[in-house]
Copies of this chain bind each other. A is one copy, B any other.
Amino acid sequence: MINVLLADDHTMFVDGIDSILKAEADITVVGKVYTGPEVIDFVKQNEVNLILLDVNLPGMNGIEVCKALKEFNNTTKILAISMFNEESFVTEILNNGAEGYILKNTGREELLKALRTVVGGKSYFSDDVTQTIMKGLMKQRRASKQREGFFPKISRREKEVLRLIIQEHTTQEIANKLFISLKTVESHRSSLLNKMNARNTAGLVRIALENNLLD
């Protein structure tokens, strides 16, 4: 038997889901809650296998609830639901422990499938959500591509020096490691500052990490 908790501030929506799940023999809706703190309280006092959790709960939102919940509970699965197919929502709640993410326009069949998949220990995502995430993955490329153009390309040796700088080595240490003179390393540092348009080491490190310059 799957014990489900519904957490959403839209009563009508909650009731709709409730009536859908009632028809299923292996699923019981053990509770309905309408705010974040209620979710936490309920889970502490009842056995819940899965929470259908609205991402945009008022007050304490779904993401915070998720985070708080995972602090003390690892068995209850979380299937996030939302009106919005927003990349930031999806990634954030997934980073905070949700096992699945579906949209509110999801039909009865898919809802049930998602629910059972997540309870079964796997993850589930609406096709639309998947598209969004993957697009995000692909966007990175275009963005970093554009930025590439901003830098004159960094030479092989410069890249080595840069890597060692980021690993917290001093100029002297880098010189020793690469068997070259202190002055040479200084010279590389200086061209790095120029090419990357940085004022100091902090900038070097930030720009390098932000733009994945170490590949």
Contact = CB atoms under 8 A, between A and B. Distances in A.
Interface stretch (A11-19, A22-30, A92-100): A92-100
Q: Considering the complex of A and B, which 10 residue pairs feature the smallest CB-CB distances, nearest first?
A: A205-B205, A168-B203, A95-B141, A168-B199, A202-B205, A201-B201, A209-B209, A201-B202, A94-B137, A123-B134
Nearest to A205: B205
A10 interface: no
Contacts of A167: 202
Interface stretch (A37-45, A49-57, A125-133): A125-133
A65 interface: no
B131 A130 contact: no
Given A94-B138, A95-B140, A95-B141, A166 B206 contact: yes
B134 A94 contact: yes
A202 B166 contact: yes
A170 interface: yes
A157 interface: no
B203 A206 contact: no
* SS of A interface (majority): helix
Contacts of A97: 138, 141
A200 B170 contact: yes
Interface of A: 91, 94-97, 122-123, 125, 130-131, 133-135, 137-138, 140-141, 144, 165-168, 170, 198-206, 209-210
A200 B200 contact: no
B130 A95 contact: no
Contact of A134 (B131, B133, B138, B166): B133
Contacts of A141: 94-97
A209 to B, nearest CB: 5
Contacts of A144: 95
A78 B131 CA distance: 16
Contacts of A200: 168, 170, 201
